[in-house]
Chains A and B, each alone.
Chain A
Amino acid sequence: DVKVTQSSRYLVKRTGEKVFLECVQDMDHENMFWYRQDPGLGLRLIYFSYDVKMKEKGDIPEGYSVSREKKERFSLILESASTSQTSMYLCASSGGQGLQPQHFGDGTRLSIL
């Protein structure tokens, strides 16, 4: 069964901390995505990557960065966490050149105190 695995289901961090969210996919997919989901706002794209070491900004990249050193792993980094970044974070992947996400992880609920 295909899988997108996010390293944590729940995470609590403090304001100003550097936070790493990890995502691994086992489908050899070229494309990987990071979304955040907030009530009333739906899913918003933060960043995506269409190849190793390649990245593109999504709709809300401010305050975030990403890293893709290996094809199967896509990391989201909050350089200096703020309370406004408290949210559900979802990772996804897709194969080929298609840029519609096919498989999602179950999300990381991040709380910044």
Chain B
Amino acid sequence: LAKTTQPISMDSYEGQEVNITCSHNNIATNDYITWYQQFPSQGPRFIIQGYKTKVTNEVASLFIPADRKSSTLSLPRVSLSDTAVYYCLVGRNSGGYQKVTFGTGTKLQVIP
């Protein structure tokens, strides 16, 4: 079971690019990396998922180095509405039963 480590909190000014890194040293060969965003009083929301190199969607980019022992969620030009907790989760997408566990997340505060 891959354990993840993230910074507890980060601050950023509006308009800046924010990079949040997650460490997962014991990631398995067929594990994927998934990031979620959670606002207060809401359930987490899927942002992006990747296996290796770089993945980009309309919301974020995900960078995964060749050794896959870490990953970086990149949010371009953040706004106040991006203030939330961001979770990194590691686990496989197929092959049957596997228990996956969330870490404690990174609380991002965007400052005007």
Contacts of B34 in A (CB 8 A): 100
B55 at interface (Cβ–Cβ under 8 A)? Answer: no
- Out of A50, A59, A98, A106, which one reaches B101, CB within 8 Å? A59
**Inter-subunit contact A43/B91 (CB<8 Å):** no
Using CB atoms, name the residue of chain B closest to A42.
B104
Bin the interface of chain A by size. 20 to 34
Whole-angstrom CA separation of A90 from B54 in the bound complex: 30
A58, B94: Cβ atoms closer than 8 Å: no
Does A56 reach chain B (CB closer than 8 Å)?
yes
Task: Please classify the interface of chain B as helix (H, G, I), strand (E, B), loop, or mixed, using the class held by over half of its residues.
Answer: loop
- Residue contact B87 to A42, C-beta cutoff 8 Å: yes
Tell me the chain B residues, 54-112 only, with Cβ under 8 Å from chain A.
87, 89, 91-105
Contacting residues, chain A, for B42 (C-beta < 8 A): 106-107
Q: Which residue of B lies closest to A56 (CB)?
A: B97
A71 to chain B, nearest CB (A): 17
A43 and B87 contacting across the interface, CB-CB below 8 Å = yes
The answer to whether residues A99 and B92 also contact, given A104-B43, A104-B44 and a CB cut-off of 8 A, is yes
Please give, as numbers and ranges, the residues of chain B lying within 8 Å of A102 by CB-CB distance: 46
Given A100-B34, A106-B41: A40 and B104 interface contact (C-beta under 8 Å): yes
Asked whether A45 and B43 contact (CB < 8 A) given A97-B95, A100-B34, the answer is: no
**Which residues of B approach A to under 8 Å, CB–CB?**
32, 34, 41-46, 49, 87, 89, 91-105
What are some 23 contacts across the A-B interface (CB < 8 A)?
A43-B102, A44-B101, A45-B99, A45-B102, A56-B99, A59-B101, A90-B43, A90-B44, A91-B43, A92-B43, A96-B93, A96-B94, A98-B93, A98-B94, A100-B32, A100-B100, A101-B44, A103-B46, A104-B43, A104-B44, A105-B43, A106-B43, A107-B43
Q: Which 4 A-B pairs have the closest CB atoms?
A: A104-B43, A42-B104, A43-B102, A98-B93
- A residues sitting closer than 8 Å to B (CB atoms) are 4, 35, 40-45, 48, 50, 56, 58-59, 90-92, 96-107
